């Protein structure tokens, strides 16, 4: 039975019609993880007892197995953020999204690999070792939600939950040929997500098609009293966005995203995808987002500053790894020195410097002002356009180790995604083709705050006209 080639909603329909049993579905995907995960190292922990449905539900994804990124808390399970410093930490509570998944009847199989504390664009910065891309095992799957994207692409699960601070859902989805959805900041509760950049982080779905992502988004979205940043805005039924004519919609193509630095094959593939949408009556125009060039430095100042503050709590006293010393200061120093990886240390130092006396105004405060200008660019664009379309990443997946010694080159991998986090707008990456080397390419759709329906509408229309989302890595058929 080829259950791994079905979407989550198709599996759920078969379960409800009793064409297959829940135990059969769970066993099938457990066996796939056990057999195939050693090849790509996407899964950190496969639970001995999967967290099954709490009760029957009319959810469109009832009974569907999912993986959870290793920075989202699951009660009584080890959550490490792929870092040595949190080894042995057992979460005493569930994140809000976990509660909502269980209430909707999804089955949590285990946790997925990631860049340590979500610091990275390749899933190489993990204490468990790198995850490999199922389309080419010599390439990275992207990051930081690389384990989730690789697992979905390889059919280890139909869908997963990741987090996105600067592209960490969309970029790996692009590299692995999956759908990766970053909702509007505030649409989904962050309670129980181990914080990286608190003003940037957002939880979202990764799946094989947009339908599963829309259903998952409906399940996890909504106001949460335990998260003061979650928005008191009604959650629409996203499944109602699957239909409707696209004729007359206005979409902007920002000229800053189609410049030198964009790989030629990626550009050609994206342009072909745009032509598919043009044939449906969408009106495309070139636009400008003039502050795009400042997005990368702005993001890495703000994100690293917030990371420096958030990671100060990991000192060996309250949870996780502790290097025993007679002197308290030495305990802190040794624990953090041995517990944090190289990239985590780099970002802590960069953030601490940006927040330090004498540099706060020159760096952090200035970055906040530029962030406002970047958001203003989007606000202005959405006064005239329904959506914006760009490549998700300037390149397809790169080789493992290729950028490991060049942090700046690695940071530029997120150049097309980070502006959405800085401005808080929703965006989704959908598969739109392959390079000559057989590596997936992603198309990024962006819309105004709390207009996820527009993204789903566009993505579904494109998906109905193509079959890229149905392609499967040869070694994982």
Catalytic residue IDs: 69, 144, 168
For the record, the structure tokens of 283 come out as 């009106």
Buried b (16+ CB within 10 A) or exposed e, 176-214: bbbbbbbbbbbbbbbbbbbbbbebbbbbbbbbbbbbbbb
Strand partners, 253: 286
Residues paired with 411 in a beta bridge: none
d(CA 59, CA 50): 19
The beta strands (E) that lie in 400-477 are given as 427-434, 440-446
Pairwise CA distance, residues 213 & 238, whole Å: 10
Handedness of CA 50, 149, 62, 3 (dihedral sign): negative
Q: Are 284 and 304 in contact (CB under 8 A)?
A: no
CA gyration radius for the chain? Answer: 21
Locus of tokens 């598919």 = 276
Please list, in sequence order, all residues whose beta carbon lies within 8 angstroms of the beta carbon of residue 15, skipping any fewer than 6 positions away. 21, 22, 25, 62, 63
């Amino acid at each position: 039975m080829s259950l791994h080639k079905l979407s989550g909603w198709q599996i759920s329909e078969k379960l409800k019609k009793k064409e297959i049993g829940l135990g059969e579905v769970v066993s099938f995907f457990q066996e796939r993880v056990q057999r195939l995960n050693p090849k790509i190292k996407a899964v950190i922990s496969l639970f001995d007892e999967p967290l099954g449905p709490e009760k029957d539900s009319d959810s469109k994804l009832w009974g569907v197995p999912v993986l959870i990124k290793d920075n989202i808390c699951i009660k009584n399970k080890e959550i490490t953020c792929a870092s040595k410093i949190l080894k042995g930490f057992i979460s005493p509570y569930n994140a809000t999204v976990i509660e909502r998944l269980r209430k909707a009847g999804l089955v949590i199989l285990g946790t997925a690999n990631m860049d340590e504390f979500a610091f990275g664009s390749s899933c190489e910065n993990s204490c468990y070792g790198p995850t490999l891309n199922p389309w080419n095992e010599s390439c990275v799957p992207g990051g930081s939600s690389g384990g989730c994207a690789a697992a979905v692409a390889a059919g280890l699960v139909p869908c997963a939950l990741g987090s996105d601070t600067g592209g960490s859902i969309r970029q790996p989805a692009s590299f692995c040929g999956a759908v990766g959805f970053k909702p509007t900041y505030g649409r989904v509760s962050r309670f129980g997500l181990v914080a990286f950049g608190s003003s940037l982080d957002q939880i979202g779905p990764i799946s094989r098609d947009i339908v599963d992502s829309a259903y998952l988004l409906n399940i996890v979205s909504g106001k949460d009293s335990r998260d003061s940043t979650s928005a008191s805005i009604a959650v629409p039924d996203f499944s109602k966005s699957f239909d409707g004519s696209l004729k007359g919609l206005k979409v902007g193509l920002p000229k800053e995203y189609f410049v030198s630095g964009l790989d030629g094959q990626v550009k050609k593939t994206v342009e072909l995808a745009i032509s598919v949408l043009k044939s449906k009556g969408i009106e495309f125009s070139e636009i400008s987002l003039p502050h795009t060039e400042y997005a990368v430095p702005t993001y890495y100042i703000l994100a690293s500053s917030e990371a420096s503050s958030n990671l100060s709590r990991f000192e060996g006293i309250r949870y996780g790894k502790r290097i025993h010393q007679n002197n308290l200061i030495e305990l802190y120093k040794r624990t953090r020195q041995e517990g944090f990886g190289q990239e985590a240390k780099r970002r802590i130092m960069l953030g601490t410097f940006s927040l330090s006396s004498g540099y706060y105004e020159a760096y952090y405060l200035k970055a906040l002002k530029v962030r406002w200008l970047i958001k203003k660019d989007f606000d202005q664009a959405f006064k005239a356009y329904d959506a914006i379309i760009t490549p998700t990443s300037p390149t397809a997946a790169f080789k493992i180790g290729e950028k490991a010694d060049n942090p700046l080159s690695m940071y530029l991998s997120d150049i097309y995604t980070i502006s959405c986090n800085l401005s808080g707008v929703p965006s989704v990456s959908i598969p739109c083709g392959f390079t000559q080397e057989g590596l997936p390419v992603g198309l990024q759709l962006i819309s105004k705050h709390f207009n996820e329906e527009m993204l789903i509408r566009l993505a579904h229309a494109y998906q109905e006209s193509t079959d890229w989302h149905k392609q499967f890595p040869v070694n994982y058929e």
